[in-house]
Amino acid sequence: MKVLVLSFYYSPDLCAGSFRTTALVEQLKKNKEMDIEVITTMPNRYSSYRQETLSFEVDGNVSIRRISLPEHKSGMVDQIKSFSKYYMEVMKIVKKENYDIIFSTSSRLFTAFLGARISKNKKIPLYLDIRDIFVDTLNDVLNPYLSKIVNPLLSAVEKYTFSNATHINLVSKGFSDYFESRFKNTTYSWFTNGIDNEFLLDNQNSSVIKNKKQILYAGNIGEGQGLHKIIPKLANNIGSDYEILIVGDGGRKDILVKSIAGCNNVTLCEPVNRNELLKLYNNADVLFLHLNDYSAFEKVLPSKIFEYAATGKPVLAGVSGFASEFITSEVDNAEVFYPGDEKMAFSALNKLNLETINRKSFIDKYRRDNIMTEMSNSIVKFGSIND
């Protein structure tokens, strides 16, 4: 069975899509009867983080092609240019190739659309892995005038994409109502994000002595996270008892930098690799998560929750909707506050037990390798339709 895997991000890139797809391919390649072709991009998630890697490599029954993209800063125009390059190059590569199934993972819709186009042209099953509801999110993020212009086009792309899917996996059960009410002629599964093996190692010996208690945020700094709306206010509330360390990059970093001018208890650092990230997690007293106050984000389940929880560290999360329900019910020693509400955040912070705890039951339930094993079996099942 030959599988085409489409993912805009892949190892060694630093983002949820990369980690998820890489883990899935590791499970797929254990089946020696499978021939897996991954078409992705050269590492490009953050302009401030670059890691050299090969444009083409073969690892057993897996071949990986990485397409070079133009330099970009995560703005919308840059993203359109980058995806256009990816789209055109993928179509050239697959034109004369034969596959039994296409697996396409997507948060911004268009990698899923690319998978749908190839699936329709070659008349083969399409297995979509959806990590976000792009149209829903853009309606919140864009100004109303621009949203009114682009929404009809994006809605048409969305309808075409999901109507042509053989199977759709949703990483959050919060997405279920949106999809199942619109696209009824397909099947669904809910293989969530999970905990990678790196976060299951004992890193307790890497801690260092600090003068203040530390709140750590590590990840993307974009409109979706809305850090510029909460960090300055939270920094003023916590005073000299805590320091806030933010590690990452993204399209709203400049705004965040301006917003924390004068805050002497906030430090920003560039993205780091996973080994360094584990050390930072171990050194922190509280791990921080925040999503902007948009209705679309009431449906999501951030991948960051899983790696935060695996460390055993206290978790402070500014989220609402499904993510809030999930954290409250699944993660011990975690407190939730409404996005952007610094008074609730400060109150929630003071409720946390600052000791590291054992979350073994959570880890056992959400190990990435277990989840990806089940997902790879599901892909094989749908790929057998053409046999």
Domain ranges of the chain: 2-194+367-386, 197-365
Q: Which CATH architecture has domain 2-194+367-386?
A: 3-Layer(aba) Sandwich (3.40)
Q: Examine the pLDDT at 163 and tell me if it is beyond 90.
A: yes
- In angstroms, the Cα distances linking 318 to 68, 260, 297, 338 are 36, 18, 11, 5
pLDDT digits (tens, 9 = 90+) for 346-357: 999 999 999 999
Higher pLDDT, 135 or 290: 290
- Residue 47 pLDDT class (50, 70, 90 cuts): low
User: How many Cβ atoms are within 10 Å of 35's Cβ, its own excluded?
Assistant: 16
Give the three-state DSSP class for 128.
strand
Homologous superfamily (CATH) of 197-365 is Glycogen Phosphorylase B; (3.40.50.2000)
- Residue 74 pLDDT class (50, 70, 90 cuts): low
- The pair of structure tokens assigned to 226 is 């809305």
- The pair of structure tokens assigned to 274 is 């996973």
CA atoms of 385 and 373, how far apart (whole Å): 20
> Across all residues in the chain, what is the average pLDDT?
92
Q: Examine the pLDDT at 98 and tell me if it is beyond 90.
A: yes
270 touches 220 (CB < 8 A)? no
The yes-or-no answer to whether 2-194+367-386 and 197-365 have a common fold is yes
Q: Examine the pLDDT at 202 and tell me if it is beyond 70.
A: no
351-367 as b/e: b if 16+ CB within 10 A = ebeeeeeebeebbeebb
- Residue 116 pLDDT class (50, 70, 90 cuts): very high
Calculate mean pLDDT across residues 271-279.
91
Task: Give the residue from 352, 339, 351, 344 showing the smallest Cα distance to 313.
Answer: 352
What pLDDT score does 208 carry?
A: 57
CA atoms of 370 and 363, how far apart (whole Å): 11
Calculate mean pLDDT across residues 248-257.
94
- Residue 50 pLDDT class (50, 70, 90 cuts): low
Q: Examine the pLDDT at 10 and tell me if it is beyond 80.
A: yes
**Residue 155: which residues within 8 A CB-CB, separation 6 or more?**
135
